[in-house]
Amino acid sequence: MSSIEIISKNNQQNEKIINSLQAEFTAVQRELIARKKQQLLQENADLKNRIAQTLAELVRLETQNGKKQISVPGARSFCTQATDVPVAAPTPTPAKVEESKDAAKTAPKEKKPKKEKPAKAAAAQTSAPAAELPIDVGRLDLRVGKIVEVGRHPDADSLYLEKIDCGEAQPRTVVSGLVKFVPLEEMQNRSVVVLCNLKPAKMRGVTSEAMVMCASTPDKVEVLSPPEGSVPGDLVHCEGFTRNPDAQLNPKKKVFETCAPDLKTNDNLVACFKGAALHVPGKGNVVAQTLKNVNVK
């Protein structure tokens, strides 16, 4: 083989290597761009979620403090009722001041109104209580959580003791009676839907701060699954019902007990309230694994 043929063959091999390296570089570049895009989309979704949570908390606090929420056409949320802005009175001229003094001398003195007694004032205030919100799923603070730690309750064989990240500064302690229905390994590191505004209650000496939501029959219980891509702290909404949860449910008003009969899974395993799907906006529906048309509690 001549030297020219050898050089030509080497050039062809080098060209193949270069083309191969270019293809690999292009693939790696595309992969990095795709990962960065996915990361930015996730960060954007997290920011939207935080904004929604902050707005919901603001509306809840303002409503709790008696500020009326007014719907603004074309806006995505509410604004609080505007207060009257005081207008500065015009400065009187010297002539007006003299006229006012003369009028004050000749005008009859007005009787001062009698001060209302504290008891009557209190009665007047209590006679017009704030309007009670309707009892529906919007009063329930349902959120996505993740079980970060789970074990048996030290004093009860039928109870799990869990630490659940609900997107807050500290995980919540939750006691669940699921030992007979869900194996311990299936509880570990799983995403769940949590009712967060129940009044904390002691269960065998441990204070439970929330409740894990499940599809339930007398013989079988399945922990509800939030949609794929959900993160701790995501808010669960229900189509057709405004999310406006109580800061803490009053046990005497039995809000959850009133809603419970209408919380069920449907034919498609979707958890619903009165047939309307429970969902995380932009991510999907809350579902059971196999239990159709059963109560959710």
Together in a domain, 168 and 277 = yes
Instruction: Give all strands (DSSP E) within the chain, no chain letters.
Output: 69-71, 78-80, 142-153, 156-165, 172-176, 191-195, 201-203, 206-208, 211-212, 214-216, 221-223, 237-238, 263-265, 271-273, 276-280, 284-285, 295-296
**Of 72, 93, 120, which one is at a domain's C-terminal end?**
72
Give the pLDDT of residue 90: 52
Identify whether 96 is part of a domain. no
Angle at alpha carbon of residue 275, lines to 274 and 280, rounded to 5° = 100
Identify whether 161 is part of a domain. yes
Q: Are 216 and 253 in contact (CB under 8 A)?
A: no
Identify whether 77 is part of a domain. no
Q: Are 264 and 296 in contact (CB under 8 A)?
A: yes
Together in a domain, 42 and 173 = no
Together in a domain, 289 and 145 = yes
Please name every residue paired with 237 in a beta bridge, in sequence order, or none if there are none: 279
Asked whether the CA dihedral 234, 238, 242, 246 is positive or negative, the reply is negative
Tokens of 288: 């059971």
* 148: nearest Cα among 166, 170, 168, 164: 164
Tokens of 170: 């500290």
Query: In the chain, how many domains are there?
Result: 2
* Residuewise pLDDT in 10s, the chain (297 residues): 677 878 877 888 888 888 888 888 888 888 888 888 888 888 888 888 888 888 888 878 777 777 766 654 444 444 444 444 444 455 555 555 455 555 555 555 556 656 555 555 444 454 444 467 889 999 999 999 999 999 999 888 899 999 999 999 999 999 999 999 999 999 999 999 999 999 999 998 999 999 999 999 999 999 999 999 999 999 999 999 999 999 999 999 999 999 999 999 999 999 999 999 999 999 999 999 999 999 999
In single-letter form, the type of residue at position 176 comes to S
Query: For residue 31, what is the DSSP state?
Result: H
Together in a domain, 68 and 152 = no
Together in a domain, 23 and 157 = no
Identify whether 19 is part of a domain. yes
Is the pTM of the predicted complex or chain greater than 0.75? Answer: no
Rounded Cα distance between 286 and 202, Å, is 28
Together in a domain, 30 and 166 = no
The span from the first CA to the last CA of the chain, in angstroms, equals 83
Identify whether 40 is part of a domain. yes
Together in a domain, 267 and 178 = yes
Give the pLDDT of residue 79: 46
Please name every residue paired with 172 in a beta bridge, in sequence order, or none if there are none: 164
Rounded Cα distance between 285 and 297, Å, is 17
Give the pLDDT of residue 102: 54
Identify whether 107 is part of a domain. no
Identify whether 112 is part of a domain. no
Instruction: Please report where in the chains the tokens 């069920």 appear, as a residue.
Output: 264
**Of 72, 96, 120, which one is at a domain's C-terminal end?**
72
3-state secondary structure of 214: strand
Residue 227's domain is classified under what CATH number?
Answer: 2.40.50.140
Q: Which phi and psi (to 5°) does residue 267 adopt?
A: -60, -25
Rounded Cα distance between 196 and 145, Å, is 10
Residue 256 belongs to domain spanning:
137-296
Identify whether 110 is part of a domain. no
